[in-house]
Amino acid sequence: MKYISTRGKAPELTFEDAMLTGLARDGGLYIPAEIPVMPKAEIAALAGLSYEEIAFRVMRPFVGDAFTDEDFAEIIQKAYAGFGHAARAPLVQLGPNDFLLELFHGPTLAFKDFAMQLIGQLFQVALSRRGERVTIVGATSGDTGSAAIEAFRGLDAVDVFILFPNGRVSEVQRRQMTTPTEANVHALALEGDFDDCQGKLKDMFNDFTFRDEVRLAGVNSINWARVLAQVVYYFSSAVSLGAPHREVSFTVPTGNFGDIFAGYIAKRMGLPIRDLVIATNQNDILHRTLETGAYTTQAVAPSISPSMDIQVSSNFERALYFAYGGDGNAVAQLMAELKEKGAFPVSQGALESLRETFSSGRVSEEETLAAIAKFHATTGEVLCPHSAIAAEVAARRGTESTPMVALATAHPAKFPDAVERACGQRPALPARMADLFEREERLTEVPNDLAALEALIRERISK
Ligand SMILES: Cc1ncc(COP(=O)(O)O)c(C=O)c1O
Ligand SMILES: N[C@@H](CCOP(=O)(O)O)C(=O)O
C-alpha cells in the first residue's frame, strides 16, 4: 500500500513512513493511492466480532507489511485495553431509528482516544525498531491535545508539544493537558485561536530546516493513521445495525473534518453508508461551503462547543482531492488561494460531487443549549455540546427508514458549565479523574510567532 499527497508533488510513502512523516513535504496530506474495497461477505463476517477484531480486519489492508499480523493484533489489543466500556464504542438507542454512538469511553473521554491510543502504540514499536526519536508537535482546540499527551506521556523516543488557544478550551480540557508531570510533555498556551495553532504547526512542517533538525512528527488528523483508526467505528456500528444488508446514515459533529472523512473512507471501502451529515456549530464554514460553493473564512466566534471552533478545516483538503478527481495541482492551487485570500471557490463539478456524499446542518449557541435540554428531558441522555449538535442536526431530518447514527464525540463532564446551564445537571468526572482540579498545572504561554516557537522547542529538546 502506497500513500500519495493531496497536492501531488511529495514522494510516495509506505504506511509507516507516512505515519511518522505527518504533513507531506509539498504541504499536502497523505492519502492511500488506492482505497481497498471490502467485499460484502467480509463486511457481513464482522457481525458479532469484538471491536479489536473488527479494527484488525478493517485496518489491515492499509498497513501493508509495516507490522506482522501478530504484532498488529497485539498493538490493537493494547490500544483499547484502557477503555471504560467493553464494547469500546457502544450504540445507544434514542428513538425508533435514531442512535447515538458513544465515542467517549477512552482515557481522556473523547473520540480522539480511538486513534491516539493506537498511534501511540504504533509510534512506539516503529521508533524502537528504527532506533529513532521524534518531536511531536500538535495543535488542539482541546481534545486532540489531551488525547495525544495521554498516549505519548513518558515515552522515551518522543517529546510532545501541544499548542492550544489560550483561554479558549474548557477547564477540564486544559487541566488534562497541563497536569501530567512527565518531562517529555509540554503544554503551550498560544495567544490566538485554534486556526493560529494549526497554522503555526503547518508552518513548522514547511520549514524543512527545523523539521529535519528536530525530526518533526504530527499526530493531528493530518496524520493518515489518525483517520484510519476512526474508520473502524463506522464499521462496528453499521454492522451492528444490519450492514451490509441494510444502509446506515451518520451525522458527525465537524470541525477539522477528520472524523467525517473517516466515514467517507468507510463508504469508499464498501460500507453501505447512505448519508454523511456534517453538523457544525456557529463556526459554520463547512455548512456554508456546501450551500454556496464558496469556502470563505470568517473570524472564529468562541462557542460552548470549543473543539469545533475552526475555520481552516484541515481534512477538507482530502475531500477536495477526491471531489476534484484526484487532481493534486487543482488542490494545491485552492490551498494557495486559501492561504493568500482566506477563501476559494469550489468548482461546480466538485461541489456536485461533495453534495452527492455530504449534506450539512448548523446549530446556533441557543439551539445547542436547547438541544442538550431536550435530549435530556426526552431520552435521559446528558450530551456534551458537540454531541448535542450532531443529535440535533440528525433529529431535524425526522425519523427515516434508514437508521441514523449521531456521533457522541466527548463526555459531557468535559464541558460541565455548558451542560449545567442547559439542563441543570453537572456531569461528574469518572473517579480516576476526581482530583483533576487539585493537581498542579504546568504550562508555558507562547506568542503566535513561528521563530519564537521553534526556538522554544529547540531549547526544550536539547535538555
Ligand atoms: C468533541 C469533539 N467533537 C467534534 C470534533 C470535530 O471533529 P473533527 O475535527 O474530526 O471534524 C472535535 C475535534 O476534533 C471534538 O473534539
Ligand atoms: N477538535 C480538535 C482539533 C484538531 O483536530 P485533529 O482531529 O486534526 O487533531 C481538537 O480537539 O483538538
**Which ligand lies nearest to the CA atom of residue 164 in the structure?**
2
pLDDT, residue 29, reads 98
Q: Tell me if 309 CB under 6 Å of ligand 1.
A: no
3-state secondary structure the chain: CCEEECCCCCCCECHHHHHHHCCCCCCCCEEECCCCCCCHHHHHCCCCCCHHHHHHHHHHHHHCCCCCHHHHHHHHHHHHCCCCCCCCCCEEEEECCEEEEECCCCCCCECHHHHHHHHHHHHHHHHHHHCCCEEEEEECCCHHHHHHHHHHCCCCCEEEEEEEECCCCCHHHHHHHHCCCCCCEEEEEECCCHHHHHHHHHHHHHCHHHHHHHCEECCCCCCHHHHHHHHHHHHHHHHHCCCCCCCEEEEEECCCCHHHHHHHHHHHCCCCEEEEEEEECCCCHHHHHHHHCEEECCCCCCCCCHHHCCCCCCCHHHHHHHHCCCCHHHHHHHHHHHHHHCEEECCHHHHHHHHHHEEEEECCHHHHHHHHHHHHHHHCCCCCHHHHHHHHHHHCCCCCCCCEEEEECECHHHCHHHHHHHHCCCCCCCHHHCCCCCCCCCCEEECCCHHHHHHHHHHHHCC
**List of residues 6+ apart from 267 with CB closer than 8 A:** 273, 276, 357
pLDDT, residue 462, reads 81
pLDDT, residue 305, reads 97
Single pTM value for the model: 0.98
Pairing of strands 444-446, 134-139: unpaired
**Of all atoms in ligand 2, which is nearest to the CA of residue 258?**
7
**Which ligand lies nearest to the CA atom of residue 385 in the structure?**
1
pLDDT, residue 82, reads 95
Q: Tell me if 255 CB under 6 Å of ligand 1.
A: yes
Q: How far is the CA of 106 from the centre of ligand 1 (A)?
A: 15
pLDDT, residue 295, reads 98
Q: How far is the CA of 138 from the centre of ligand 2 (A)?
A: 9
Q: Tell me if 176 CB under 6 Å of ligand 1.
A: no
Residue with CA closest to ligand 2 atom 11: 143
**Of all atoms in ligand 1, which is nearest to the CA of residue 258?**
10
**Interface predicted TM-score (ipTM) of this complex, two decimals:** 0.99
- State which CATH number among 3.40.50.1100, 3.20.20.100, 2.40.320.10, 1.10.10.60 fits the domain covering 91-106+225-423: 3.40.50.1100
**With contact defined as beta carbons under 8 Å apart, do 198 and 219 qualify?**
no
Catalytic residue among 9, 40, 112, 267: 112
Q: Which residue's C-alpha cell is 467493553?
A: 86
User: Is 112 one of the catalytic residues?
Assistant: yes
Q: Which of 274, 289, 268 is closest to 334 using CA atoms?
A: 289
Residue with CA closest to ligand 1 atom 13: 307
Walk along the chain (463 residues) and give the pLDDT tens digit of each residue: 999 999 999 999 999 999 999 999 999 999 999 999 999 999 999 999 999 999 999 999 999 999 999 999 999 999 999 999 999 999 999 999 999 999 999 999 999 999 999 999 999 999 999 999 999 999 999 999 999 999 999 999 999 999 999 999 999 999 999 999 999 999 999 999 999 999 999 999 999 999 999 999 999 999 999 999 999 999 999 999 999 999 999 999 999 999 999 999 999 999 999 999 999 999 999 999 999 999 999 999 999 999 999 999 999 999 999 999 999 999 999 999 999 999 999 999 999 999 999 999 999 999 999 999 999 999 999 999 999 999 999 999 998 999 999 999 999 999 999 999 999 999 999 999 999 999 999 999 999 999 999 999 999 998 7
**With contact defined as beta carbons under 8 Å apart, do 351 and 293 qualify?**
yes
* Annotated domain spans of the chain: 91-106+225-423
Q: How far is the CA of 143 from the centre of ligand 2 (A)?
A: 6
Q: How far is the CA of 245 from the centre of ligand 2 (A)?
A: 33
Q: Which of 367, 217, 218, 197 is closest to 280 using CA atoms?
A: 367
Q: Tell me if 223 CB under 6 Å of ligand 1.
A: no
d(Cα 428, Cα 382) in Å, to the nearest integer?
11
Q: How far is the CA of 35 from the centre of ligand 1 (A)?
A: 24
Q: How far is the CA of 360 from the centre of ligand 1 (A)?
A: 15
pLDDT, residue 399, reads 85
Residue with CA closest to ligand 2 atom 7: 221
Kindly report the number of other CB atoms within 10 A of residue 117's CB atom: 24
Q: Tell me if 409 CB under 6 Å of ligand 2.
A: no
Residue with CA closest to ligand 1 atom 9: 256
